[in-house]
């Protein structure tokens, strides 16, 4: 893996994925080669150059790319599924226009490689829900999912028409302890740990048997770095790759937490996010990612729960 010449810009660096990706890429390339950007700064980026950036502002984005000699962009800014449904027109605008801004930069050869995440939200109620394949019926029912599906098609189009080296993963729900989640339907599986540690109980906004594809954040960051460093000929899908880690329901994760805290209890009060979850796959088949560039997850459910509880406990007592 060559780590010599990259100069990286992360857009949406202050979010759940961005904080961890910035830290990991800084370990690999040195903090001075990883520019963090977001709508506002946080103390997560004391060691990185930071730029205040609205991803919709194409000129400001261009100026930052030129100023820092950026070669690689990881574009993470978006409205997610639950917040997207509250503000659909803005979700469409942000998710699509900001993608065009970075795709155009790549098309004009100001950068050489682009990462943009898609999501299991590209699937919908007519998709087969078990072991969902890479290629299948896709009729997303959220604005977020519609924007991700359209984004995938645009990525492939820019690759084919303009030779843009864009790479993408359809992340499942991501679970990490380093930052708070930002408006997704899978976020219950992050909140549940905070409440388990604080109050030993959790009220789930999804019903007990709602199984969804999920993944530990460390696995997701590793997948992101692996796909971005794979030789171009191994990246045979330029829309977005299915990516699978674990599949579990609120009842499953609660049972695993109970092994650590026998007095933990869970109750269920489904809200509008239940319909979103019901429209998504329960498990994902990611054989293309495994076969093309060697993907393999490291976390199962017991390991994920143990890791979350140990690390969150440390942050709460620090
Ligand atoms: P998040 O909401 O935690 O973070 C998004 C970041 O983008 C925030 O820091 C926010 O301030 C920033 N942002 C919002 N609008 C912006 C703008 N106009 N300009 C610049 N920055 C802006 O989201 P996340 O969970 O880190 O997700 C990052 C990406 O990964 C998104 O594209 C999301 O769709 C995708 N994804 C996430 C998950 C998940 O489970 N977290 C799953 C699938 C896909
Ligand atoms: C969400 O729930 O919106 C995200 C996702 C799966 O894309 N976590």
Digit-coded pLDDT (tens) for 128-185: 999 999 999 999 999 999 999 999 999 999 999 999 999 999 999 999 999 888 789 9
β partners of residue 315? none
Q: Are residues 103 and 126 in the same domain?
A: yes
Identify the bridge partners of residue 2 per DSSP, sorted by sequence position: none
Mean pLDDT score across all residues of the chain: 96
Q: Could you tell me which residues come within 8 angstroms of residue 114 by beta carbon, excluding any fewer than 6 positions away?
A: 72, 73, 75, 102, 103, 105, 106, 164, 165, 166, 167
Q: Write down the pLDDT at residue 44.
A: 83
Is 261 part of any domain? Answer: yes
Whether residue 176 has its Cβ less than 6 Å from ligand 1: no
What are 200-240's pLDDT values in tens digits? Answer: 999 999 999 999 999 999 999 999 999 999 999 999 999 99
Query: Is 0.95 topped by the overall pTM?
Result: yes
What is the full DSSP assignment across 92-125? HHHHHHHHHHHHHHHHTTS-SEEE--EEGGG--T
Residue minimizing CA distance to atom 44 of ligand 1: 119
229 shares a domain with 201: no
Strands of 241-242's sheet in order across:
118-119, 169-171, 241-242
Task: Please report, for the domain that includes residue 312, its CATH number.
Answer: 3.90.25.10
Residue 222 belongs to domain with CATH number: 3.40.50.720
Show the ligand 2 pocket: residues with CB < 6 angstroms: 80-81, 119-121, 144, 173, 184-186
- % residues pLDDT > 90 (the chain): 94
- Residue 48 Cβ inside 6 Å of ligand 1? The answer reads no
How far is ligand 1, taken at its centre, from the CA of residue 80, in Å?
7
Number of separate domains in the chain: 2
Residues 98 and 238 in one domain: yes
Q: Is 144 a catalytic residue?
A: yes
Please report the pLDDT score of residue 316 as a whole number: 78
Tell me: pLDDT of 1 over 80.
no
Listed in sequence order, the DSSP H helices in 163-299 are: 188-199, 217-229, 250-260, 273-278, 287-293
* Residue nearest to ligand 2 atom 4, measured at CA: 184
Identify whether residues 74 and 220 lie together within a single domain: yes
In whole angstroms, how far apart are CA 248 and each of 188, 219, 311?
Answer: 12, 16, 21
Taking the C-alpha atoms of residue 122 and residue 140, their distance in angstroms, rounded to an integer, is 5
Q: How far is the CA of 2 from the centre of ligand 2 (A)?
A: 31
What is the full DSSP assignment across 177-215? SSS---S-STTHHHHHHHHHHHHSEEEESS-TT--EEEE
Domain extent for 125: 8-171+216-242
Give me the pLDDT at residue 40, please. Answer: 94
């Amino acid at each position: 893996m060559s780590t010599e010449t990259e100069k990286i810009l992360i857009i949406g660096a202050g979010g759940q994925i961005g904080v961890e990706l910035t830290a990991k890429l800084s370990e690999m390339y040195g903090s001075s080669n990883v520019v963090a950007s977001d709508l506002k700064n946080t103390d997560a980026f004391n060691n990185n150059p930071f730029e205040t950036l609205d991803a919709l502002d194409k000129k400001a984005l261009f100026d930052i790319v030129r100023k820092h000699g950026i070669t690689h962009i990881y574009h993470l800014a978006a409205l997610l599924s639950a917040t997207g449904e509250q503000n659909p027109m803005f979700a469409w605008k942000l998710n699509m226009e900001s993608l065009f801004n970075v795709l155009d930069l790549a098309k004009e050869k100001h950068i050489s490689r682009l990462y943009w995440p898609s999501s299991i939200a590209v699937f919908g109620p007519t998709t087969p829900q078990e072991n969902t394949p890479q290629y299948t019926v896709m009729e997303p029912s959220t604005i977020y999912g519609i924007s991700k599906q359209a984004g995938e098609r645009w990525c492939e189009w820019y690759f084919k028409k303009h030779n843009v080296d864009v790479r993408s993963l359809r992340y499942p729900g991501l679970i990490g302890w380093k930052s708070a989640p930002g408006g997704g339907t899978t976020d219950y599986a992050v909140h549940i740990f905070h409440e388990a540690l604080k109050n030993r109980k959790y009220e789930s906004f999804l019903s007990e048997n709602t199984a969804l594809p999920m993944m530990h954040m460390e696995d997701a960051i590793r997948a992101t770095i692996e796909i971005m460093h794979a030789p171009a000929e191994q990246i045979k899908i330029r829309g977005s790759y299915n990516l699978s880690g674990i599949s579990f329901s609120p009842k499953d994760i609660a049972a695993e937490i109970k092994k650590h805290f026998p007095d933990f209890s869970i109750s269920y009060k489904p809200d509008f996010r239940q319909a979103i979850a019901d429209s998504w796959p329960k498990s994902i088949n990611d054989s293309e990612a495994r076969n093309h560039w060697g993907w393999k997850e490291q976390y199962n459910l017991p390991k994920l729960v143990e890791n979350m509880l140990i690390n969150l406990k440390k942050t709460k007592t620090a």
